[in-house]
């Protein structure tokens, strides 16, 4: 396996996991006027898909050794998601937090994360969740890889092989399964099918509460990165409108007449609904 520095990779891989803190999506309320989520309306937790990414990293580390660095971009309170990651087996946690990172779309977010990864230097594998439950785009992972100019595989539902020669992954794409061999360093995004994240022990959780989280601001990344590509400045997309689909409850309707008449009425009604 070749390292991103061009040298032969460590037998013990350096793994980077990207993680985002999100609101509990079952509880969160939408601000339809601003087109945003009202994050104060719900408890914050690590994006569930990112926990699958971390678990995949921990399983590789258990097999091959190495280290896991978790990187997150978010407000200062996102520290708690990183502490959770430390309790679940990460070795190092970095939070990219700065007002100038605010208002970022997926392009600016991925640029910021890629800049941090460049600063970190050597890595063998970057693992992300397939998407976040609050943004739902699935773009950030692959965009990070594009900014870094490295290969990437999305929607990985199984790591068939991982050793010093590289990785073989399976991506579930609808009815098809793509088998991909990753001989050099790269980035993968994983689905929920890849594993069931383990629970941290209470002891590790309490220990992680006191662990150090490294905080990086814009100034920590500007060596080599373009300041104008961070945050809202670097975001060509914005949310135009947000609508909440209305949830139709169950409705009962009785169709009367002879069986033939009633069936006819029923079919007509069904056609009406399907047309809508």
| Binder of another protein out of 40, 136, 174, 203 (CB under 8 A) | 203
Tokens of 178: 């793509």
Q: How far is the CB of 62 from another protein (least distance, A)?
A: 13
Q: Which stretch binds another protein (CB under 8 A): 6-14, 40-48, 91-99, 159-167?
A: 40-48
CB of residue 225 vs another protein: minimum separation in angstroms? Answer: 32
Q: Is 198 in the site for another protein (CB under 8 A)?
A: yes
d(C-alpha 209, C-alpha 204), whole Å: 9
Backbone phi, psi, residue 119, to 5°: -65, -35
Q: Which two tokens stand for residue 239?
A: 């949310």
**Smaller CB separation from another protein, 8 or 206:** 206
Residue 273 found at the interface with another protein (CB under 8 A): no
Q: Which stretch binds another protein (CB under 8 A): 100-108, 165-173, 198-206, 220-228?
A: 198-206
Please, is 129 exposed, middle or buried when counting C-beta atoms within 10 Å of its C-beta (0-12, 13-18, 19+)?
A: buried
198/264 with CB nearer another protein: 198
R_g of the chain computed on alpha carbons: 22
Contact 188, 182 (CB under 8 A): yes
Q: 1: helix, coil or strand?
A: coil
- Residue 238 CB contacts under 8 Å (≥ 6 apart), including other chains: 105
Which of 82, 40, 86, 46 is closest to 67 using CA atoms?
Answer: 86
Which residue lies nearer to another protein by CB, 202 or 276?
Answer: 202
Beta bridge partners of 128: 189
What whole-number distance in Å separates Cα of residue 185 and Cα of residue 16?
11
Nearer to another protein, 199 or 267 (CB): 199
As to burial, measured by CB atoms within 10 angstroms (0-12 exposed, 13-18 middle, 19+ buried), residue 270 is exposed
Shortest gap between Cβ of 252 and another protein (angstroms)? Answer: 9
Choices 41-49, 55-63, 143-151, 232-240; region in contact with another protein by CB under 8 A? 41-49
- Site membership for another protein, residue 74 (CB under 8 A): no
Site for another protein in 112-171 (CB under 8 A): none
Q: How many C-beta atoms surround the C-beta of residue 102 within 10 A?
A: 15
CB-nearer residue toward another protein: 119 or 207? 207
The answer to whether the beta carbons of residues 83 and 208 sit under 8 Å apart is: yes
The yes or no reply on residue 24 touching another protein (CB under 8 A) is yes
Contact string 208-237 vs another protein (x = CB under 8 A): -x----------------------------
Helix/strand/coil for 140 = helix
196 near another protein, judged by CB under 8 A: yes
Q: Which residues bind another protein (CB under 8 A)?
A: 24, 26-27, 43, 45-46, 48, 51, 80, 84, 196-203, 205-206, 209, 254
């Amino acid at each position: 396996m070749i390292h991103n520095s061009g040298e032969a990779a460590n037998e013990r891989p350096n793994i980077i996991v990207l993680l985002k803190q999100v609101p509990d999506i079952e509880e969160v309320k939408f601000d339809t006027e601003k087109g945003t989520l009202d994050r104060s309306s719900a408890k914050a937790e690590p994006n569930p898909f990112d926990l699958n990414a971390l678990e995949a990293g921990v399983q590789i580390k258990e097999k091959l050794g190495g280290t896991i660095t978790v990187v997150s971009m978010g407000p200062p309170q996102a520290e708690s998601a990183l502490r959770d990651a430390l309790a679940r087996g990460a070795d190092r946690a970095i939070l990219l937090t700065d007002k100038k990172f605010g208002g970022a779309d997926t392009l600016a977010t991925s640029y910021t994360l890629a800049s941090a990864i460049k600063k970190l230097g050597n890595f063998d594998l970057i693992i992300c969740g397939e998407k976040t439950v609050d943004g739902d785009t699935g773009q950030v992972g692959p965009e990070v890889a594009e900014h870094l100019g490295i290969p990437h595989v999305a929607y990985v539902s199984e790591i068939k092989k991982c050793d010093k020669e590289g990785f073989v992954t399976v991506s579930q794409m609808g009815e098809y399964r793509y088998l991909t061999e990753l001989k050099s360093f790269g980035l993968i995004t994983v689905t929920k099918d890849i594993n069931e994240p383990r629970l941290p022990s209470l002891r590790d959780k309490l220990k992680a509460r006191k662990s150090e989280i490294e905080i990086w601001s814009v100034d920590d990344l500007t060596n080599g990165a373009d300041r104008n590509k961070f945050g809202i400045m670097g975001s060509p997309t914005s949310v135009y409108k947000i609508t909440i689909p209305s949830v139709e409850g169950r409705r009962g309707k009785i169709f009367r007449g002879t069986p033939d008449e009633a069936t006819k009425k029923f079919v007509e009604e069904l056609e009406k609904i399907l047309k809508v």
